[in-house]
Amino acid sequence: MKLKQYQKKRDFKVTKEPKGQTQKKISNTVPKFHFVVQKHQAHRLHYDFRLEIDKVLKSWAVPKGPSLDPDTKRLAVHVEDHPLEYAKFEGIIPPGQYGAGVVMVWDQGTFECAIDPKKAFKKGDLTINLKGKKLKGTWKLIKINLKGKKDDDSWLLFKLNDKYAKKEYDVLKKKTRSVNTKRSLKQIAIDGIKSYKQSTKS
């Protein structure tokens, strides 16, 4: 099962992240070829870039986040598949849990791929057209082979030159809030702590 690694890392009695077992329900609510970028304040702040491919969210952790400047290529470390409903997850991951910290839905929308994204993913060469609120236009994700690293699954994420490319504009600094709730990371943290306190009251 594809989500085994995802589920193994998490205790769903403790975290409110989705377990990912309700695939039939999801396809009605999540549009096809959905993408999401989650801003994740864990041990280190990073951005999780996720694409709906083959009924899961293929996922990359991008330490420095996406850049609209085509000359800036960002390292994207391929990580375990996440369930489709994870695209809606915004809140806190409790201490002691995998990825403990705060998660924001920073951007989301749909994407198009001229070829079957499943094949492109396998080839390690994805060209996608994003239709998000913050990220738009053509982007590339390319698998790179770092010499001497056997289990390395590093990719590069970068913008291609089009009308949505922007130099000298830091989208991460200009757009800091949730695309869904307009909350800052701090507000999500405060709300999350409150709701956990309520849910543990008996």
**In the complex, which residues of this chain contact Mn ion (CB under 5 A)?**
40, 48
CB of 45: closest distance to Mn ion in angstroms? 10
Q: Which is nearer to Mn ion, 105 or 165 (CB)?
A: 105
- CB contact at 8 A, 86 and 103: no
CB of 167: closest distance to Mn ion in angstroms? 28
CB of 137: closest distance to Mn ion in angstroms? 24
Q: Which is nearer to Mn ion, 47 or 121 (CB)?
A: 47
Q: Which is nearer to Mn ion, 26 or 37 (CB)?
A: 37
Residue nearest Mn ion (C-beta atom): 40
Q: Which is nearer to Mn ion, 48 or 52 (CB)?
A: 48
Q: Which is nearer to Mn ion, 85 or 165 (CB)?
A: 85
58: how many CB neighbours lie within 10 A of its CB? 21
CB of 116: closest distance to Mn ion in angstroms? 27
Residue 17, judged by CB atoms within 10 A of its CB (0-12, 13-18, 19+), counts as: buried
Q: What is the 3-state secondary structure (H, E, C) of the chain?
A: CCCHHHHHCCCCCCCCCCCCCCHHHHHHHCCCCEEEEEEEECCCEEEEEEEEECCEEEEEEECCCCCCCCCCCEEEEEEEEECHHHHHCCEEECCCCCCCEEEEEEEEEEEEECCCHHHHHHHCEEEEEEEECCCEEEEEEEECCCCCCCCCCEEEEEECCCCCCCCCCCHHHHCCCCCCCCCCHHHHHHHHHHHHHHHHCC
CB of 128: closest distance to Mn ion in angstroms? 20
CB of 95: closest distance to Mn ion in angstroms? 15
Q: Which is nearer to Mn ion, 104 or 128 (CB)?
A: 104
